């Protein structure tokens, strides 16, 4: 059957708000306790807490109860499931879909009490994000979108916020988010730093400097902030589908574009690998193709 995106969106918003409550309470409990430790995953800066796991278990349970046919991929329970869909039989009763969630995006921020923390829940059908909800429980900011229905902040403010919908003219006027991520050994780190340097000020960009660089420490919030207009661009290598699925839906509904690893051109070519490529450049509006500097950054 056709998916009812309105009711899925409503369900996802309520789920994110409940997850947010768990995150807030979980942080208070951790800060009150002497013995709350985080675990390390791939390395000493790739962290997970008991709250990430509890929130993911809660989200999974709710989704399985409500949408028993949907597949589920979560950051903390990932076992290599593929995001790219088998053929989708449109109009038949079974429409393969996947729910991608990151229980706490910005786990490092959560541990430190830095308020850029979000739960990010996205639904992809046929490999394309169709519903996305990102909720920051510390700043009480709820970003939500469903395909074809627009993107909103706190349900009421349509994104991008007024006056922020114009295409970006040049990197020289941009506020750009970048992230170090958890992969910091060679060659990953030097290559990231080179891009940061290029964006900050570089002869490669004809001596242009962007207005400044930012790091929110959460892919989901970086993307949501590009969607709302507070950032012009976000560049990161190393994200997973659960970091970006909800954000892509929100960004696209706000008139922005996400480029992935296939290096699709700014002419609007579709990137078939958007959920699996691990390399992302989010932009509000499409920059003019004549801006060589934008093209160069996109191709990194």
Provide DSSP, 234-273. EEEES--HHHHHHHHHHHHHTT-EEE-TT---TTT---TT
What is the rounded distance in angstroms from the CA atom of residue 11 to the CA atom of residue 27?
A: 24
- Measure the CA dihedral 184/185/188/193, to 10°: 60
The helix or strand, by DSSP H or E, that contains position 223, with its residue range, turns out to be helix 219-228
258 binds ligand LIP (CB under 6 A): no
CB of 112 to ligand LIP, least distance (A): 11
For residues 37 to 76, the per-residue mask of contacts with ligand LIP, x marking binding by CB under 6 A and - elsewhere, is --------------------------------------x-
CB of 39 to ligand LIP, least distance (A): 12
Q: Which of 101, 218, 228, 294 binds ligand LIP (CB under 6 A)?
A: 218
Q: Which of 181, 247, 256, 285 binds ligand LIP (CB under 6 A)?
A: 181
Task: Report strand pairing: 141-146 vs 128-136.
Answer: antiparallel
219 binds ligand LIP (CB under 6 A): yes
The helix or strand, by DSSP H or E, that contains position 10, with its residue range, turns out to be helix 5-32
Range list of β-strands (E), 53-156: 71-74, 97-105, 118-125, 128-136, 141-146, 151-153
CB of 239 to ligand LIP, least distance (A): 6
Structure tokens given for 210: 């962007």
Structure tokens given for 184: 């910091």
Only one of the segments 28-36, 100-108, 137-145, 193-201 lies at the binding site for ligand LIP (rule: CB under 6 A); that segment is 100-108
CB of 128 to ligand LIP, least distance (A): 21
277 binds ligand LIP (CB under 6 A): no
What is the rounded distance in angstroms from the CA atom of residue 269 to the CA atom of residue 112?
A: 40
CB of 103 to ligand LIP, least distance (A): 8
Q: Which of 27, 102, 144, 294 binds ligand LIP (CB under 6 A)?
A: 102
Torsions phi, psi for 183 (to 5 deg): -95, 100
Q: Which of 56, 105, 232, 253 binds ligand LIP (CB under 6 A)?
A: 105
Binding residues among 137-166 for ligand LIP as defined by CB under 6 A:
none
Only one of the segments 4-12, 32-40, 86-94, 213-221 lies at the binding site for ligand LIP (rule: CB under 6 A); that segment is 213-221
DSSP H helical ranges for 42-89 = 50-66
Query: Residue numbers of the site for ligand LIP (CB under 6 A)?
Result: 75, 102, 105-108, 179, 181-182, 217-219, 236, 243
């Amino acid at each position: 059957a056709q998916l009812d995106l309105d009711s899925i969106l409503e369900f996802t918003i309520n789920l994110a708000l409940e997850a947010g409550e768990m995150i807030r309470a979980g942080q208070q409990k951790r800060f009150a306790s002497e013995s709350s430790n985080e675990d390390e995953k791939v390395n000493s800066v790739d962290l997970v807490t008991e709250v990430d796991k509890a929130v993911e278990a809660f989200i999974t349970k709710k989704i399985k109860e409500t949408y028993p046919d949907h597949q589920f991929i979560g950051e903390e329970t990932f076992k290599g499931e593929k995001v790219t869909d088998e053929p989708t039989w449109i109009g038949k009763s079974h429409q393969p879909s996947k729910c991608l969630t990151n229980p706490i995006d910005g786990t490092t921020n959560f541990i430190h009490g830095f308020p850029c923390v979000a739960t990010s829940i996205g639904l992809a059908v046929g490999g394309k994000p169709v519903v996305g909800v990102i909720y920051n429980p510390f700043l009480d900011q709820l970003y939500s979108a469903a395909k074809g229905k627009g993107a909103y902040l706190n349900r009421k403010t349509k994104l991008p916020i007024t006056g922020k919908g114009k295409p970006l003219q040049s990197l020289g006027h941009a506020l750009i988010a970048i992230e170090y991520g958890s992969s910091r050994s060679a060659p990953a780190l030097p290559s990231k730093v080179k891009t940061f340097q290029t964006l900050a000020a570089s002869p490669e960009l004809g001596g242009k400097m962007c207005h400044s660089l930012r790091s929110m420490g959460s892919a989901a919030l970086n993307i949501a902030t590009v969607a709302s207009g507070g950032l012009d661009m976000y560049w990161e290598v190393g994200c997973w589908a659960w970091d970006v699925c909800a954000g892509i839906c929100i960004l696209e509904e706000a008139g922005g574009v996400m480029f992935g690893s296939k290096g699709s051109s700014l002419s609007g070519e579709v990137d078939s690998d958007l959920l699996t490529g691990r390399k992302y450049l989010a932009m509000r509006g499409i920059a003019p193709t004549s801006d060589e500097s934008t093209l160069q950054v996109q191709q990194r």
